[in-house]
Structure 1
Amino acid sequence: MTTLGIIGAGHIGSNVARAAIAAGYDVVIANSRGPETLAELVAELGPKARAATAAEAGAAGDVVVVTVPLGAIEDIPVEPLAGKIVLDTNNYYFERDGHIDALDRGETTTSEIVQRHLPTSKVAKAFNHIVAAQIATDGSPAGTPNRRALATAGDDPAAVEFVTRLYDELGFDTVNIGPLSESWRVERDRPAYVVRQNAAELEANLAIANRLP
């Protein structure tokens, strides 16, 4: 079974861990404060989870989820993630991250920033437009009427294929936005952000998104 390395143990990281373990994955999870601070979470997650440093989680994961604030991206270790699929959950919150001119002007996306930091990894957008707790609760079997859909984007077909498979295993349909340059369509303050939508509704919301406020 695939091991997910998860760098970032906040709301998104911990809920991806819960959902992935329920689907049969092994999880190695890290935060910025050290593995010893994750004892309570790992005890909750059970025997398929263990805590580690960020570098160890990156090395252990067949696929790695990077779910840290945008301002902490430069702290993500590069070499342990080389050649691997990396799922980026980020959104740009200028109140938290400070203003980033290229994002304010619509010249890049958060996922492209992650990809530039991890040039030898295969980055795909994932889990950034769903309330974190719903990752582990809103899934339903394939074929369920009105099944919730989530979006992904990526420049590497294998990365997009993995996200599509993972979403399905966790109970969600997938809408592929296209390359990382289009991932802004599903970020904060756009119509598709943190609303429950099926695949057709998600496609419609992506289509009406504006690049700039």
Structure 2
Amino acid sequence: MKITVIGAGAIGGNLARKLGAAGHDVQVADARGPEAVPADVLESGARAVALDDAVQGRDVVILSIPFERVSELAGLFDSVPDETVVIDTSNYYPHLSGSIEVVDKGQVESVRNAEALGRPVVKAWNAALAETQRTKGVPAGTPGRIAIPVAADSQEARRVAMRLVDDTGFDPFDAGVLADSWRQQPMGPAYCTELTLDELGPALAAADRDKDARVRDSMMERFAALGDAPTHEDVVEMNRAAHR
């Protein structure tokens, strides 16, 4: 497939490398220009391109930029066909980005981004840590394979995104429509807890919007309690412990 990843940070870089290695035609765009895309992001054959040219003639566009920046890309999609699948990987952390009133009042993260862009989006890859995505992808059928939820209103767009999640080394979980994607947002039981396919469904069902928001807003305090050099495993265990 022809895929563009917008954003060359930890998540975007992981996806560009993994999808390139899986045989897809991958482009990477950064708002600062092609020269800002790190060389290691291109090591699996992806190409750095200018942002203005990044979305034309592509099957899939993956947005791996901060949540509060997604709305800035609305004009970029004015001439993009409806059949192009747009995937949103972002998460809302008000202590990092500042408060966004409509989300604080209950609008689902990716519903807000879909409205801002003026087109449907898929929610995927947001519920796994960058280090999880970088190091824990394994072939399909491997026992204990970690699952990643995928939500979208279009069954076809969801199917495309689920195929790509599989290509990055994780079991895709059909998480239903976009309005239900709050269940995979920070910091619910399914968020960054490295669950298998069998475990992920019950975790999504157990999500509680009020509690999950409180857990999210206490994240900095909980990180501080881990000490100066928490490991990846420490962070995953912290996330799991918040829901025991």
Indicate if the aligned counterparts of 1:58 and 1:80 stay in contact, CA closer than 8 A.
Answer: no
- Counterparts in 2 of 1:22-41, with a 5 A limit? 22-38=21-37, 40-41=39-40
Quick one: which amino acid aligns to residue 18 of structure 2? Answer: A
Quick one: which amino acid aligns to residue 192 of structure 2? Answer: V
| Structure 1 segments unaligned to the other structure (5+ residues) | none
Question: In the aligned structure 2, how far is the partner of 1:18 from the partner of 1:134?
Answer: 14
Question: Which consecutive aligned stretches of 4+ in structure 1 deviate over 3 angstroms post-superposition?
Answer: none
Match of 1:194 in 2: 192
TM-score, reference length from structure 2: 0.80
Question: In the aligned structure 1, how far is the partner of 2:143 from the partner of 2:38?
Answer: 39
Deviation at 1:209, TM superposition (A): 0.5
Match of 2:108 in 1: 109
Q: Percent identity between the aligned chains?
A: 37
Corresponding residue to 1:61 among 58, 63, 82: 58
Once the two structures are superposed, what CA deviation does each residue of 1:139-178 show, in whole Å capped at 9, x if it has no partner? 2222222221110100111110011111222222122121
Structure whose alpha-carbon radius of gyration is higher: 2
Indicate if the aligned counterparts of 2:65 and 2:90 stay in contact, CA closer than 8 A.
Answer: yes
| Structure 2 segments unaligned to the other structure (5+ residues) | 212-244
Indicate if the aligned counterparts of 2:71 and 2:117 stay in contact, CA closer than 8 A.
Answer: no
Deviation at 1:60, TM superposition (A): 4.4
Matched residue of 2:189: which SS?
coil
Deviation at 1:19, TM superposition (A): 0.8
Once the two structures are superposed, what CA deviation does each residue of 1:64-122 show, in whole Å capped at 9, x if it has no partner? 0011112211221122544110110011010222112222222x1121122112324x4
Distance change >3 Å, CA 203–CA 127, structure 1 → 2:
same
Indicate if the aligned counterparts of 1:18 and 1:136 stay in contact, CA closer than 8 A.
Answer: no
TM-score, reference length from structure 1: 0.90
Distance change >3 Å, CA 171–CA 33, structure 1 → 2:
same
Distance change >3 Å, CA 34–CA 80, structure 1 → 2:
farther
Question: In the aligned structure 2, how far is the partner of 1:55 from the partner of 1:81?
Answer: 12
Once the two structures are superposed, what CA deviation does each residue of 1:8-32 show, in whole Å capped at 9, x if it has no partner? 1111100001110111112111112
Match of 1:50 in 2: 47
- Counterparts in 2 of 1:1-213, with a 5 A limit? 2-38=1-37, 40-41=39-40, 44-46=42-44, 48-76=45-73, 77-83=76-82, 84-106=84-106, 108-120=107-119, 122-213=120-211
Deviation at 1:201, TM superposition (A): 1.0
Distance change >3 Å, CA 174–CA 39, structure 1 → 2:
closer
Distance change >3 Å, CA 103–CA 39, structure 1 → 2:
closer
Question: In the aligned structure 1, how far is the partner of 2:79 from the partner of 2:28?
Answer: 14
Deviates most, 78-87 or 189-198: 78-87
Indicate if the aligned counterparts of 1:105 and 1:212 stay in contact, CA closer than 8 A.
Answer: no
Deviation at 1:5, TM superposition (A): 0.5
Which one scores higher on RCO, CA 8 angstroms, separation ≥ 6? 1
Q: How many residues align?
A: 208
